[in-house]
Amino acid sequence: MDIAALNDIALRMVTPGKGLLAADESFGTIGKRFDSINTENTEDNRRDWREMLFRTTRAMEDHVSGVILFDETLRQNAKDGTPLRKLIEDAGAIPGIKVDQGITPLAGRAGENITQGLDGLRERLAEYYELGARFAKWRAVIEISHPEQYVARTPTIGGIKANTHALGRYAALCQEAGIVPIVEPEVLMGGHHSIERCHEVTETTLNSLFTELYEQGVKLEGIILKPNMVVAGKKCFDQASVTEVAERTIKVLKDTVPAAVPGIAFLSGGQDNEIATEHLDMMNKIGGFPWKLTYSYGRALQQSTLFAWQGKAENYDAAQAAFNHRAHMNGLASLGQWSASQDAKAA
């Protein structure tokens, strides 16, 4: 493991003004997105969609530092035969790969899940390195139960530890292979929970994560953290202000994340496009932390682009313009330079 090389890649991933494009949707997930625009979920359509994103030169060159890919995409060629990963590299971005294999129920823990994919991971990472991937992603899912479900109140400490232990083992294997691990412990935002409960669970999860990373011998200079923001559940009646979300998220990170971590790339977690941008911008406007704070967005970067594309070649230019716009706005947010008026004006 060359920690200097890993640190160099990690720093490139959080280059000021840039962030990560999460284009690692599974067949099922991208199928649901294609359903929303009445487009068939075929290999050719998946290729055309992602090729359109990766050829969006202004967004890719100016505001995307790396792209998280699904296994199929890392191996796929564009229509003209150019490997899709080469389109990413030609734009100055780094190809990455999703390596987890989804979630399954955690034995003995009703309502909790564990992420699969550790078996055979060493061999898969070696192959992915040869294919050009220089970072990887593993997502752990932490779900907060309904406040009235006291019998099966989740998450449990045991459930959190099981997931963070898997993240630690994954990260160690990545670094052994010369690949920067994105560690993603996502506290889901779909429930009824308050922002105070999200704060508590996120803090507990991150404390457990960094204990596991230390115990697994992971070098923090060679990782990227991909956490949730501290927000109330979508079904909660009381939704916090943008400022409170930013302040609570910064506090949790300051209380749990060592300064050795090069950067933090937030997931959007199902937030509306502009809200995800506004929350990131507010954190960077507040400042006062040792890490670079940027984005690792999927839907929050792609949704407006997908609706502009509609699966039709004649909408190519409109879709690229939509992607350029959202990438530019999030690039500004990663610098604390975004504004709602600028977003509306540039749309």
List, by residue number, the catalytic residues.
Answer: 184, 226
Residue that has been written with the tokens 């330079």 in this structure: 337
Closest CA to 144 of 58, 60, 215, 202: 202
- The answer for 238, left when phi > 0, alpha when psi is -120 to 50, beta otherwise, is beta
Q: Structure tokens of 317? A: 């230019």
- Residue length, the chain? 347
Q: Is 324 in contact with 59 (CB distance < 8 Å)?
A: yes
Give the contacts of 125 (CB within 8 A, at least 6 positions apart).
Answer: 99, 136, 173, 174, 176, 177, 179
* Calpha distance 8→291 (Å, rounded): 15
**DSSP output for 172-233:** HHHHHTT-EEEEEEEE---SS--HHHHHHHHHHHHHHHHHHHHHTT--GGG-EE-PPP----
To which H or E segment does residue 263 belong? strand 263-266
**Angstrom distances, CA of residue 220 to CA of 250, 259, 267, 330, 338:** 19, 9, 19, 25, 30
Amino acid code (one letter) for 25: E
Closest CA to 94 of 76, 127, 67: 67
Q: Structure tokens of 45? A: 């359509």
* Calpha distance 136→252 (Å, rounded): 24
Backbone angles phi, psi at 187, to 5 degrees: -85, 115
**Angstrom distances, CA of residue 323 to CA of 45, 98, 273, 334:** 18, 22, 12, 16
**Angstrom distances, CA of residue 194 to CA of 187, 198, 267, 271, 298:** 13, 6, 19, 16, 25
